[in-house]
Chain A
Amino acid sequence: MAENVLHVENVTMQFGGVIAVNSLTMDVNQGEIVALIGPNGAGKTTAFNVITAVYEPTNGKVAFYHKPMVENYPKGKMKKLYAGQNSSAYTQSISPTPDKITRLGIARTFQNIRLFKSLSVFENVLIAKHMRAKQNVFSATFGLNAKEEARMRAETIALLEEQDLMHLKDEIAGSLPYGLQRRLEIARALATRPKLLLLDEPAAGMNPQETEDLGAFITQIRDKYKLSILVIEHHMDLVMEVADRIYVLDFGKLIAQGTPSEVQDNPDVITAYLGVDEE
């Protein structure tokens, strides 16, 4: 069996009295495309935000290549308020900042595109190279890192060429059409050299043709960059086409998991999700 890349264990995210994610356990293995689906408000993006350390989970653990990356247990005010399970399973609290997660090798895109809108396409991608550079602020200011800077630029150009965005190099990111902004956001995430890519609704706002292309694109980057991919998506066609496995969330709880065909036939999923939100 392929190596485990991401292991999410008993993750509960509680905001006040609302449990957004309830004891979620899921795995992503090497080279897999895993989809996380569920109706609106099911807690999919919250799960992403826990994995990327934007939120500190109330309880639970996230491990990346078997190394605990995020871990927490109910403490402080949450000790009393906590309404989830496994409240005594974890004893340490690891809460890195999101940039550390990215440096470990997890890149993400956002549901509502978050590009650096007034910077050029080239700069948007180049910024992703900053974190792995060995320069310091003095060497960078006085141009003592010329070699490294040149390497960063060359890598950026190579990536833009691979992603077929080279002709837009000097365009302002905010002025690109929607579909290209999505593409650029994925390119920017790839520039951080991730091992795991998290895509938050990459097909939102795309027409059926574009969605189909996106499916092919996701599989293609998985193979090309040897990625594992976790994707949140609403478009069932896309999910059924690309996903190796699917997790279904409803009201924060995992209600089903398995291969696309297994999930498709699961009566719980049909009532909770497919039956209600069919388009």
Chain B
Amino acid sequence: MKKSTKTLCSCIALALLVGFLLYMETLKTTQGMAVSILQKGAIFSIAAVSMNLLNGFTGLFSLGQAGFMAIGAYVTAIFTIPTEKIVAVYYMNGVSEGIMSIKRALSFLPEPVLVLLALIAGGLVAAGFAALVGIPVLRLKSDYLAIATLGFSEIIRALISSPQMDKITNGSYGLKNIPGFGGENGLGCLLVPFGIAALCIVIMVLLIRSSYGRAFKAIAEDEVAAEAMGINLAHHKEMAFVISSFFTAVAGGLLAMYMRSIEAKTFQVILTYDILLIVVIGGIGSVTGSVIGAFLVTASKEWWLRFFDTPLKIGNFQVPLLRTGFRMVIFSLLLMAVVLFWRRGLMGNREFNWDDIPRFGRWVKRKFTKTPATEGGERNG
């Protein structure tokens, strides 16, 4: 395909997407499930791409995502809970004076600006934590790094729910009354998360394509050789870790806005595993893979497989096994199938390209017409 055709295709796809989102926004009341899946998918795609930046592109196997998301979520929540409601939220312990004075100082800002500011602040706080934690932790390799970052994320969770932090994080009571996406009439409930997600992902893609991105890839490929090429390992690993944490925290902030109420329990290790799952399914080292994975996994986990949860009777026959929670069994089986047939994730380490569509068509045709493969098969990543 020619380059201009591809650009045209991309523009059309983008316009269609925006149109679709605007249309879905008007259906918010009737299609609540679809809207919330789309919101969650957008949020998880940021988290997945930022995890991929670290795990796929820089080769640092970190499992601290939940911790950084928690930081982002709490900072965003504290900033955005309306000042008049905040006393009610902290009814058990009272609010710290520091928070109140910050909120009063920022009260002149219109809400959208405040939300953006809150998300960035959450990201910066998380980035600060990452910078501190990174210095000792990033000396570790592979599994050991994973364990250390996992420990960090649990420490954050414990800190948040500890009684000493009551006046700031409301301890184990969690935070409520966080404003959701968009205004009262639901306008922007999809465009806001998608817009922020697109912005974050575009920035990360630009980073990956820059000279620094190449340095990250070099580190992932071979640390010794990267060092021999003059790349300072400690410096670049720290940079990748901090940047990834920033965007993870932005995703955490959006998650807080999506859920409207958060508590420390929300950010258990399982959240990290969910993101890891998306990254692996999408393909380690593929941004488009992560985005596709985020929507696929969220949708199939929470929506498409719902019917497995409700008991079903056909005539007199009670279909066995169908009960609450059974969809997770099916989901796990599907995951195994995906991993077996696409060993390197759906996209491998390739990115989506408009050429893929005719190629995919040929692949399907070959599969179903069963002609003997003469080209030696597609290169699958």
Binding site for B on A (CB under 8 A): 52, 54, 97-100, 102-103, 107-108, 110, 114-119, 123, 126-133, 135, 137, 140-143, 145, 149, 152, 188-189, 192
Report the nearest B residue to A116, measured CB to CB: B221
| B226: A residues at CB distance < 8 A | 116, 127
- B211 in complex: contacting residue of A117, A142, A152, CB < 8 Å: A152
The reply to whether A110 and B221 form a contact with Cβ atoms under 8 Å apart is no
Stretch at the interface among B231-239, B258-266, B275-283, B311-319: B231-239
The reply to whether B207 and A98 form a contact with Cβ atoms under 8 Å apart is no
| A52: B residues at CB distance < 8 A | 228
User: Interface size of B by Cβ–Cβ distance < 8 Å?
Assistant: 26
Report the nearest A residue to B243, measured CB to CB: A137
| B99: A residues at CB distance < 8 A | none
Chain B interface helix/strand/loop/mixed: helix
The reply to whether A119 and B218 form a contact with Cβ atoms under 8 Å apart is yes
A116-B218, A152-B211 known; A143-B228 Cβ under 8 A: no
Please give the distance in Å from B207's CB to the nearest CB on chain A: 5
The reply to whether B212 and A140 form a contact with Cβ atoms under 8 Å apart is yes
Tell whether B229 is near chain A: CB-to-CB under 8 Å: yes
Please give the distance in Å from B135's CB to the nearest CB on chain A: 15
The reply to whether B228 and A107 form a contact with Cβ atoms under 8 Å apart is yes
Tell whether B227 is near chain A: CB-to-CB under 8 Å: yes
Report the nearest A residue to B285, measured CB to CB: A118
A130-B214, A141-B206 known; A118-B230 Cβ under 8 A: no
- A110 in complex: contacting residue of B217, B225, B230, B349, CB < 8 Å: B225
Contact indicator per residue, chain B 349-371, by CB within 8 Å of chain A (1) or not (0): 10000000000000000000000
The reply to whether A123 and B214 form a contact with Cβ atoms under 8 Å apart is yes
Tell whether B224 is near chain A: CB-to-CB under 8 Å: yes
Tell whether B203 is near chain A: CB-to-CB under 8 Å: yes
A97-B227, A149-B211, A188-B229 known; A137-B217 Cβ under 8 A: no
A110-B225, A114-B224 known; A128-B230 Cβ under 8 A: yes
* Complex-state Cα separation, A131 to B215, whole angstroms: 9
| A192: B residues at CB distance < 8 A | 229-230
Tell whether B143 is near chain A: CB-to-CB under 8 Å: no
The 10 A-B pairs at the shortest CB distance, nearest first, are namely A131-B230, A102-B230, A140-B210, A114-B225, A116-B221, A98-B227, A141-B207, A99-B232, A127-B218, A99-B230
The reply to whether B206 and A143 form a contact with Cβ atoms under 8 Å apart is yes
Report the nearest A residue to B230, measured CB to CB: A131
Interchain Cβ contacts within 8 Å, total number: 100
Please give the distance in Å from B276's CB to the nearest CB on chain A: 21
* Complex-state Cα separation, A117 to B229, whole angstroms: 14
The reply to whether B229 and A128 form a contact with Cβ atoms under 8 Å apart is yes
Tell whether B222 is near chain A: CB-to-CB under 8 Å: yes
Residue picked from B203, B215, B229, B349, most chain A C-beta under 10 Å: B229
* Complex-state Cα separation, A145 to B206, whole angstroms: 13
The reply to whether A115 and B228 form a contact with Cβ atoms under 8 Å apart is no
The reply to whether A130 and B225 form a contact with Cβ atoms under 8 Å apart is no
19 contacts between A and B (CB under 8 A): A97-B227, A97-B232, A98-B227, A99-B232, A110-B225, A114-B228, A116-B221, A123-B217, A127-B215, A127-B226, A127-B229, A128-B229, A130-B212, A131-B229, A137-B212, A140-B207, A140-B210, A149-B210, A192-B229
A114-B225, A116-B221 known; A127-B210 Cβ under 8 A: no
Please give the distance in Å from A233's CB to the nearest CB on chain B: 19
| B233: A residues at CB distance < 8 A | 97, 99
The reply to whether B228 and A108 form a contact with Cβ atoms under 8 Å apart is yes
| B214: A residues at CB distance < 8 A | 119, 123, 126-127, 130
A116-B222, A119-B217, A152-B211 known; A130-B203 Cβ under 8 A: no
Report the nearest A residue to B349, measured CB to CB: A118
| B203: A residues at CB distance < 8 A | 141
The reply to whether B215 and A130 form a contact with Cβ atoms under 8 Å apart is yes
Residue picked from B211, B227, B231, B233, most chain A C-beta under 10 Å: B211
| B227: A residues at CB distance < 8 A | 54, 97-99, 102
A108-B228, A123-B214 known; A114-B222 Cβ under 8 A: yes
| A118: B residues at CB distance < 8 A | 221, 349
- B228 in complex: contacting residue of A98, A123, A140, A145, CB < 8 Å: A98
The reply to whether B221 and A130 form a contact with Cβ atoms under 8 Å apart is no
A54-B227, A137-B207 given; 10 more Cβ-contact pairs under 8 Å: A98-B228, A99-B233, A114-B222, A114-B225, A117-B222, A123-B214, A130-B215, A137-B243, A145-B211, A192-B230
The reply to whether A127 and B231 form a contact with Cβ atoms under 8 Å apart is yes
* Complex-state Cα separation, A110 to B239, whole angstroms: 27
Please give the distance in Å from A229's CB to the nearest CB on chain B: 16
| A149: B residues at CB distance < 8 A | 210-211
* Complex-state Cα separation, A264 to B215, whole angstroms: 44
* Complex-state Cα separation, A141 to B224, whole angstroms: 25
| A137: B residues at CB distance < 8 A | 207, 210, 212, 239, 243
| B228: A residues at CB distance < 8 A | 52, 98-99, 102, 107-108, 110, 114, 189
| B221: A residues at CB distance < 8 A | 116-119
Please give the distance in Å from B213's CB to the nearest CB on chain A: 8
Residue picked from A99, A107, A132, A143, most chain B C-beta under 10 Å: A99
* Complex-state Cα separation, A207 to B214, whole angstroms: 34
* Complex-state Cα separation, A118 to B225, whole angstroms: 13
Please give the distance in Å from B95's CB to the nearest CB on chain A: 36
* Complex-state Cα separation, A126 to B210, whole angstroms: 11
Please give the distance in Å from B227's CB to the nearest CB on chain A: 4
Report the nearest A residue to B229, measured CB to CB: A128
Report the nearest B residue to A137, measured CB to CB: B212
Report the nearest B residue to A106, measured CB to CB: B228
* Complex-state Cα separation, A145 to B210, whole angstroms: 10
- B234 in complex: contacting residue of A97, A103, A116, CB < 8 Å: A97
| B218: A residues at CB distance < 8 A | 116, 119, 127
Please give the distance in Å from A207's CB to the nearest CB on chain B: 26
* Complex-state Cα separation, A132 to B232, whole angstroms: 12
| B239: A residues at CB distance < 8 A | 137
